[in-house]
Structure 1
Amino acid sequence: MSTAPRPDDRNRDRDPEGRARNARPRDGLGRPLPYGTEGVERQPEGITRTPEETVTQAQALLDAGRPFHAHEVFEDAWKSGPDDERDLWKGLAQLAVGLTHSARGNLTGGARLLLRGAGAIDAGRRGERPYGIDVEGLVLWARQLAEYLEADGPTVDAAEHAPRLRGADGE
């Protein structure tokens, strides 16, 4: 077996540390666009934010119809946060990706991710509002949207169907 790099490996986009990182521009739903096309600003990766900053930034992205980018904010919190909060942030990331897939037209995948995310944020948090997050409201939102998608509902508009992380009265 040869250890020589494949021709496509030499041409891969890399970050400053040399890790493979796709530098293609992306649209609001995170889909790669051709090089040279103007895309939306990407979320920097590996940022440590406070929980308040995470929720506020993710809500702004969700409201703007950019759930893929909100998922990246949640993913940073999941990877950098305390172990006992990882399920919360991972579940929120799954909700955002579920909305992303739904808006892209992948209704089955979207519904599955919404239900998986709802289960993760609901686990042991019934009645709680960590960082003001409306866990019960988000679980209800995710289950209702998944049910709609499973009934072959049309592709959803990401901004129109964005959840309110802190409920109707929150940000």
Structure 2
Amino acid sequence: MGSSRTGGTEPDGTRDARDRDSEGRARNARPRDGLGRPLPYGTDGVPRQPEGVVRTPEETVTQAQRLLDEGKPFHAHEVFEDAWKSGTEQERELWRGLAQLAVGLTHCARGNVTGGARLLRRGAGAAEQWASARGRERPHGMDLPGVVAWARALAGDVERGGGPVDAARSAPRLR
């Protein structure tokens, strides 16, 4: 996690009780459930994904799929976000789109139908646009047309009253 409850001082001299890392950046050390929702301090939560991990694209897809299969799309989004931030410029939009899909699934599982459907469609559009601009439908072995179809179908299902969804049962197959 790398977080601690060190706090800081506000400009008015009062103490800032937010979680801060050793450089003073805000971090939230609060435990989280499998969908990334905060739990009360002292509660056992789901271990968080470490931030800023540089993985190969193969490792990214494998790790994200494992988390999706476990019903942890919030955590899969963090893996995709690491790839988006550390990957090549040519693939940033691909990883960003996949992160949006994982967040969309997170919202659908939390019962936020409108936000979830919107993020699923946005992520599907980003992945589809990235693939068509490069003529690549299977980057790193991923089935982007299948993932795009999954996202659009799930968005439609939840809007027709199918939400909240079980994140593990509703997870896409990336390959």
Query: Is the partner of 1:100 in helix, strand or coil?
Result: helix
Matched, 1:160 2:169: yes
Corresponding residue of 1:4: 11
**2:30·2:40 contact (CA, 8 Å) conserved in 1?**
yes
The 5 Å alignment of 1:16-165 reads: 16-126=22-132, 128-165=137-174
**Structure 1 residue 97, shift from structure 2 partner:** 0.2
RMSD value, Cα:
1.4
Q: Confirm or deny: 8 A CA contact 2:30 2:39 kept in the other structure.
A: yes
Q: Give percent identity, aligned residues only.
A: 71
For residues 97-156 of structure 1, the C-alpha deviation after alignment (integer angstroms, 9 at most, x for no partner) is 000000000011000000000000001414520001110000000000001111122310
Distance 1:88 1:60 in 2: 19
SS at 1:19's partner residue? coil
- Structure 2, unmatched stretches of 5+, are 1-9
Counterparts of 1:155 and 1:6, CA distance in 2: 44
Per the TM alignment, residue 84 of structure 1 is displaced from its structure 2 partner at its CA by 1.0
Cα distance in 1, alignment partners of residues 12 and 69 from structure 2:
43
Q: TM-score, normalised by structure 1?
A: 0.91
Say whether the 8 Å CA contact 2:94–2:130 is kept in structure 1: no
Take 2:90 and 2:11, find their aligned partners in 1: how far apart are those partners?
42
CA distance in 2, matches of 1:124, 1:32: 33
Counterpart position of 1:169: none
- Give the Cα separation in 2 of the matches to 1:107 and 1:39: 25
Equivalent AA in structure 1 for residue 117 of structure 2? A
| 1:59-116 superposed Cα distances (whole Å, 9 cap, x missing partner) | 0000000000000000000011111101100000000000000000001100000000
